[in-house]
Amino acid sequence: MNLTTISFAAAFAVAIATAGCSDENVVITNPDRTYNQVQRLGNPLVSEVFLAKRDHGFHGATAPTIDVAAFTPIIRGFVDNVAGRDTTVGKTLAAVLLPDELIVQSDKATNTAGWLTWALANGWGGRKLEDDVVTAGLQAVFGALLDPNNTTPGLADDNVDVNDVAFGTTFPYLAAAH
């Protein structure tokens, strides 16, 4: 190699290294790339409790932007007719659960994190690993969480109170499979 080639290679390497250390956020887009959404599950209560199995594919392949129109009648119908609750319970659940997204309000205190706390307690939202979202959901539908009248206590709890294996103390925190 001659000196010119070595100088050019060194200058090129310095330019690449400098560009890679930039503080700028660079977003590279590829308009030719397409994605195939297979499933979405913001709040398990929506698809796992309210939707018939035949509707899971439609729910999973659509965007949250159509949730209110597509799923409000289903949620309200289930709560009113299957659970036998007052219409205000169905209206409240549809308003809180749709669109089916897991909402996090990062301007709130992190100690208020928890499932649906963004809607019910002006909290952070999100979901903690130890949140018993199944029992909370069943309490909302069949129990006294939203209305103490006309409840079905036998359906208001899944009776699984804790994980059978402790969560980890480091990321990803989930308990080991067994």
pLDDT along the chain (178 residues), means of 10: 52 47 57 74 85 91 93 96 96 93 88 82 84 88 94 93 86 82
Is the separation of the CB atoms in 42 and 100 below 8 Å? yes
In a domain, 25, yes or no: no
Q: Is 93 exposed, middle or buried (0-12, 13-18, 19+ CB in 10 A)?
A: buried
Q: What span, in angstroms and rounded, lies between the C-alpha atoms of 122 and 39?
A: 28
Q: At what angle do helices 87-97 and 67-77 cross, to 10 degrees?
A: 150
- Which whole-number Å values give the CA distances from 144 to 89, 129, 152, 156, 157, in the listed order? 10, 24, 9, 8, 11
Q: What span, in angstroms and rounded, lies between the C-alpha atoms of 62 and 18?
A: 42
- pLDDT for res 130: 84
Q: Which domain holds residue 104?
A: 44-155
Domain count along the chain = 1
- pLDDT for res 73: 97
